[in-house]
Amino acid sequence: MNFESWQLQYADGKVLLIDKPLTWTSFDVVKKIRVLTRISKIGHAGTLDPLATGLLIVCTGKFTKRINEFMAQEKEYEGSFTLGAITPTYDRESEPYDHKPYDHLTEETIRAATAAFTGEIMQVPPIHSAIKMDGKPAYQLARKGKEVKMEPRRVVIHAFEITAINLPEVRFRVVCSTGTYIRSLAFDFGNALGCGAYMSALCRTRIGDYGIAASQTIEEFVGALEKEKSASADADQKG
């Protein structure tokens, strides 16, 4: 395939740091960049749920070979849990139920509960996840009302701190290994407190050495790409 001069760097291989918009799937981002660059060999290094925002590493060309390397790296998240109820999806995608009181909880109790979820732990992923069960994503089976049994997985929580408390909302910061589900952490944390909880906001702020401060919004990427195309066109004309 013949590439235009501005496309060559994407075809050869680039690592793009994108700040994923709220409600977009990770594949929506990949699809958008494929359309914009007209490069088919593009993938992302670690799914973010539609209701999560933050750092998404997108690889093009030869750098798609590094996707597994990026996926294996440590992750950092910031967000909030809402205490006093649970949801089927463990986040805001579904309606809260099983409401329980939380007003009796003290700041000390809430902060102390993080200790049980720090270090190497066994975690059960949400049934509403993309993990394959009998060849199909678990969430597809769960949405059809079929029984889904998820097996516990070993994950590592390097840091879990409560950064602010404004009940029923609790703000947090988590540093964890790959494979950790923050939605499951919210569910388990709520159980430990005895009142239930679900994830109400999530932003991935870091993957390995890559931080969100270095990322671009989709709009910023589009603007930068247009400048690349314009500079390439000018160079071609002068050539």
Tell me the per-residue pLDDT of 14-48, one tens digit each, with 9 for 90 and over: 999 999 999 999 999 999 999 999 999 999 999 99
Amino acid 15 reads V
Options 19, 49, 91, 188, the catalytic residue: 49
Q: How far apart are CA 232 and CA 152, in angstroms?
A: 51
Q: Are residues 147 and 134 in the same domain?
A: yes
Residues 197 and 124 in one domain: yes
Residue 19: Cβ within 10 Å count: 21
Q: Check if the beta carbon of residue 207 is closer than 8 Å to that of residue 46.
A: yes
Instruction: List strand residue ranges (DSSP E) for the chain, in order.
Output: 15-20, 42-44, 53-60, 75-83, 119-123, 132-133, 136-137, 153-166, 169-176, 197-207, 210-211
What is the share, in percent, of the chain residues with pLDDT greater than 90?
79
The reply to whether 15 and 26 lie within a common domain is yes
Query: What was the pLDDT predicted at 169?
Result: 98
For residue 161, pLDDT beyond 80: yes
Do 122 and 196 have their domain in common?
yes
Give the range of the structural domain holding residue 172, as residue numbers without chain letter: 75-207
Can 49 be counted among the known catalytic residues?
yes
Pair (56, 108) in one structural domain: no
Which residues are CB-neighbours of 21 under 8 A, at least 6 positions away? 53, 217, 218
Q: Are residues 84 and 185 in the same domain?
A: yes
The predicted structure's pLDDT at residue 3:
80
Q: How high is the pLDDT of residue 198?
A: 98
Give yes or no: residues 26 and 113 share one domain: no
Least-confidence region, from 74-78, 82-86, 130-134, 171-175? 130-134
Same-domain pairing of 112 and 203: yes
pTM value is 0.91
**Whether residues 23 and 92 fall in one domain:** no
211 versus 147: the higher-pLDDT residue is 211
> Same structural domain for residues 179 and 146?
yes
Scanning the structure block, which residue is given the tokens 């750092």? 55
Beta strands 153-166 and 136-137 are: unpaired
118 and 167 both lie in a single domain? yes
Q: What is the pLDDT of residue 64?
A: 97
pLDDT-derived band at 230, boundaries 50, 70, 90: confident
**CATH code at position 33:** 3.30.2350.10
Domain count, the chain: 2
| Residues 82 and 62 both lie in one domain | no
Q: Does 131 have pLDDT greater than 80?
A: no
Give the pLDDT mean for 152-169: 97
